[in-house]
Structure formats: structure tokens, C-alpha cells
Amino acid sequence: MTTAIGDIDLLGEVTGGGDYHALLPHSVDVEVFGCRCRCLDLPGLIRVKRAAGRPKDLDALAELEALLAERGDESRG
């Protein structure tokens, strides 16, 4: 979906992650432009992008993994 502030992906199921209930433990509550929503945590996002294997997802992995390393996240996926 394209909005005035950018693109948003809304998915019923995610390759490598499963459905909403399977992904819920790997999500965080965030506020985006005044709306609360659940988003995958960084290790979860890396895992599903790797599983999807699309060029655009694979291209994002290096930056996401660098962010994870910078944060020192101990829950690496």
C-alpha cells in the first residue's frame, strides 16, 4: 500500500515466519504517526527477509544485520 508518507506492507502470512500468532512473540509495539501497531523485531525481520529470498529482501540484509550488531542485540535470529 502506498501512502502519503511512504509504502506499507500488510501481510496475512510471512514466508519464514508464519501467521500473525506465530509472529507475535517476535514483535514489538511501536507508535507510528500517532497509531500504535505491532512490527517484527529486528532479529525476526532479518529471519523472514532471508527466508523470502527476494532480491529486495536480500539487499536489505547487510544494513539490518549492521543495525543489529550496533544495537548489541542478544536475541539474534
pLDDT category of residue 8 using cuts at 50, 70 and 90: confident
Beta partners for residue 32, in sequence order: 35
- Which residue is associated with the grid cell 507510528? 32
What's the pTM value of the predicted model, to 2 decimals?
Answer: 0.77
pLDDT at 3 over 90: no
pLDDT at 51 over 90: yes
pLDDT at 31 over 60: yes
CB-based burial of residue 44 (10 Å sphere; 0-12 exposed, 13-18 middle, 19+ buried)? buried
**Domain boundaries in the chain?**
13-71
Cβ 45 vs Cβ 67: under 8 Å: no
In tens, the pLDDT along 54-77 reads 999 999 999 999 999 999 855 545
What pLDDT does 47 receive?
95
Helix, strand, or coil (residue 53): coil
- Which residue is associated with the grid cell 500517532? 34
